[in-house]
């Protein structure tokens, strides 16, 4: 089943939190809502869950209007950032809770719980209480609890952001695996662009209650359409039209028509190639070693550029370099 969001408007006392959002979540699709804190991601997710009313617009699940359906009748699974396991219940009771509400027979609940504990790779914790689990384990259990009732949609609100980096990376892969296997459409909120790139079939980049761009991770990274998206999806060189015309004229043909200030060129740092050349125009300002990559700040034709390489570029700060950018390395973004 797919979820369609049409012209969804949400205000808090006059403050527009979601400004006529349109979005489709296809069957089996993993959608990430990505954006800075306060842009309305959680608000959108909670509206979809039925936990928050909205002003106007439509929510359709498989063509059926969700407007009059309260959260508890929607049959969705939800996982929050933290602290959402019932502290008074064991892990097994937590996972079986949704089925118990549906009056499923005891044996069936037990079987399902065992199955899900296997699925989240925690078969031995059934009788523990939430506080006896680590943060990562708690989130796995929360996921299992959401999955127990065969939800038609899974909603994840920053489920990984309270965990430390290693656990986060592990759990990230696991969430993706489970979702792909079960094929349940999923919406996940995150403010971490890497997480969105790794997990999503479709990334929805939001800012100030508006959707800036929807697309595959590649689309958003390689072909950002706005300055905001370019900036948010990793670092980039954003170059004004006038300067590009002078310094990199070969990038101009791909520029859409529009006023001088309407578009900037976006060049990712790894697309800026740097070769040592004594007496060349470019100069290395400084060089940062980041493990797998090296980042250079360059002064070139009156601007500062950012470049990244995997190999040692063989230059030191202050030395002269040649700078070049391929014609297809540039995306034009709305300023």
Partner 1 sequence: MTMPATPSAIPLNRSPARRARSSADERLLYGACVLVPVAALLLFFLFPLATIVWRSLVEEAGGVGPGNYLALFRTPGILRAVTNSLAVGLATTAVCLVLGFMVAYAVQRTRMPGKRFVSAALSLPLLAPSLVLGLGLIFLLGRNGLVSNLLGTRINIYGFSGLLIANVLYALPQAVLIIQAALRHSDARYYDAAEVMGATRWQQFTGITLPNVKFGLLSAGFVVFTVTITDFGNAVTIGGDFTVLATEIYNQVTGQMKFGIGAAVGILLLLPTGVAVYIERVAAQRQFGTGSESALPPVPDHVPARDVPLFLATMALALSIVAVVATVVFASFVRLWPYRLDLTTKHYAITLSGGYEPLWTSLGVSVAAAGIGTALLFALAFGLRRLPAAVAKTVYLLAVLPVGVPGLVLGLSYIFAFNLAGSPLHVLYGSALLLALCNFYHYHTQGFLTMVTGMRAVPPALEEAATCLGGGAVRVLGDVVVPVMVPTLLSVFFFLFMRSMVTLSAVIFLVTPSVTLGAVSVMRLDEAGFVSQAAAFSTCIMAVVAAAALAMRGAVTLATRRTVS
Minimum CB distance to ligand ADP, residue 79 (Å): 15
Nearer to ligand ADP, 199 or 307 (CB): 199
Nearer to Mg ion, 39 or 239 (CB): 39
With 0-12 / 13-18 / 19 or more C-beta atoms within 10 angstroms meaning exposed / middle / buried, residue 291 is: exposed
CA distance 204 to 23: 9
CA distance 28 to 313: 44
- Identify which range of 33-41, 112-120, 268-276, 323-331 contacts ligand ADP by CB under 6 A: 33-41
Kindly list the distances between the CA atom of residue 247 and the CA atoms of 108, 197, 200, 281, in Å, as whole numbers in the listed order: 69, 32, 37, 12
Nearer to partner 1, 98 or 313 (CB): 98
Q: Per rule CB under 6 A, is residue 40 in the interface with ligand ADP?
A: yes
- Identify which range of 40-48, 86-94, 101-109, 255-263 contacts Mg ion by CB under 5 A: 40-48
Minimum CB distance to ligand ADP, residue 318 (Å): 43
**What sign results for the dihedral spanned by CA atoms 39, 42, 47, 52?**
negative
CA distance 246 to 281: 14
CA distance 70 to 155: 16
Figure out which of the listed residues 2, 19, 55, 115 binds partner 1, where binding follows CB under 8 A.
115
Chain residue whose CB lies nearest ligand ADP: 42
Q: Per rule CB under 6 A, is residue 37 in the interface with ligand ADP?
A: yes
Nearer to partner 1, 106 or 301 (CB): 106
CA count, 13 A, side-chain hemisphere, 297: 5
Spatial CB neighbours of 293, under 8 Å, sequence gap ≥ 6 = 270, 308, 309, 310
Minimum CB distance to partner 1, residue 298 (Å): 41
Kindly list the distances between the CA atom of residue 41 and the CA atoms of 89, 111, 195, in Å, as whole numbers in the listed order: 30, 35, 15
Figure out which of the listed residues 8, 31, 41, 195 binds ligand ADP, where binding follows CB under 6 A.
41
Considering only residues 167 through 226, tell me which ones interact with partner 1, judged by CB under 8 A.
Answer: 174, 177-178, 181-182
CA 57 to chain centre: 24
Q: Per rule CB under 5 A, is residue 207 in the interface with Mg ion?
A: no
Spatial CB neighbours of 117, under 8 Å, sequence gap ≥ 6 = 91, 92, 95, 123, 125, 126, 144
Of 246, 247, 244, which is closest to residue 255 (Cα–Cα)?
244
Of 231, 191, 202, which is closest to residue 331 (Cα–Cα)?
231
Of 194, 265, 272, which is closest to residue 227 (Cα–Cα)?
265
Figure out which of the listed residues 5, 31, 42, 307 binds ligand ADP, where binding follows CB under 6 A.
42
Task: Find residue 56's DSSP bridge partners.
Answer: 9
Considering only residues 222 through 261, tell me which ones interact with partner 1, judged by CB under 8 A.
Answer: none
Q: Per rule CB under 8 A, is residue 291 in the interface with partner 1?
A: no
Minimum CB distance to ligand ADP, residue 148 (Å): 26
The interface mask with partner 1, positions 54-93, x = CB under 8 A, is --------------xxxxxxxxxxx-xxxxxxxxxx----
In the complex, the residues that contact partner 1 under the rule CB under 8 A are 46, 49-51, 68-78, 80-89, 97-99, 101-104, 108, 111-112, 115-116, 118-119, 121, 130-131, 142, 145-146, 148-150, 155, 174, 177-178, 181-182
Q: Which residues bind Mg ion (CB under 5 A)?
A: 42
Q: Which residues bind ligand ADP (CB under 6 A)?
A: 12, 17, 35, 37-43
């Amino acid at each position: 089943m797919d979820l369609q969001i049409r012209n969804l408007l949400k205000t808090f006392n006059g403050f527009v939190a979601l400004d006529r959002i349109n979005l489709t979540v296809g069957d089996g699709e993993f959608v990430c809502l990505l954006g800075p804190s306060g842009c309305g991601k959680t608000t959108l997710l909670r509206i979809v869950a039925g936990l928050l009313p909205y002003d106007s617009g439509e929510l359709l699940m498989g063509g059926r209007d969700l407007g009059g359906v309260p959260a508890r009748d929607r049959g969705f699974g939800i996982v929050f950032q933290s602290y959402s396991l019932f502290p008074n219940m064991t892990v097994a009771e937590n996972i079986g809770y949704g089925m118990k509400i549906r009056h499923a027979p005891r044996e069936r609940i037990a079987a399902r719980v065992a199955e899900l504990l296997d699925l989240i790779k925690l078969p031995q914790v059934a009788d523990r209480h939430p506080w006896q689990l680590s943060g990562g384990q708690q989130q796995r259990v929360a996921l299992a609890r959401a999955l127990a009732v065969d939800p038609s949609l899974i909603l994840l609100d920053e489920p990984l952001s309270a965990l430390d980096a290693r656990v986060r990376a592990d759990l990230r892969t696991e969430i993706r695996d489970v979702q792909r296997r079960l094929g349940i459409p999923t919406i996940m909120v995150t403010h971490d662009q890497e997480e969105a790139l790794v997990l999503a079939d479709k990334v929805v980049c939001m800012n100030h209650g508006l959707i800036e761009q929807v697309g595959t991770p590649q689309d958003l990274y390689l072909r950002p359409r706005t300055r905001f998206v370019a900036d948010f999806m990793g670092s980039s060189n954003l170059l004004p039209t006038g300067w590009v015309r002078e310094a990199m004229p070969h990038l101009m043909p791909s520029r859409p028509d529009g006023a001088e200030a309407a578009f900037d060129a976006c060049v990712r740092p790894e697309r800026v190639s740097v070769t040592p050349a004594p007496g060349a125009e470019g100069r290395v300002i400084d060089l940062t070693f980041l493990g797998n990559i090296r980042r250079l700040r360059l002064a070139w034709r009156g601007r500062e550029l950012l470049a990244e390489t995997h190999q040692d570029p063989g230059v030191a700060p202050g030395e002269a370099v040649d700078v070049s950018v391929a014609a297809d390395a540039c995306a034009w973004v709305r300023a």
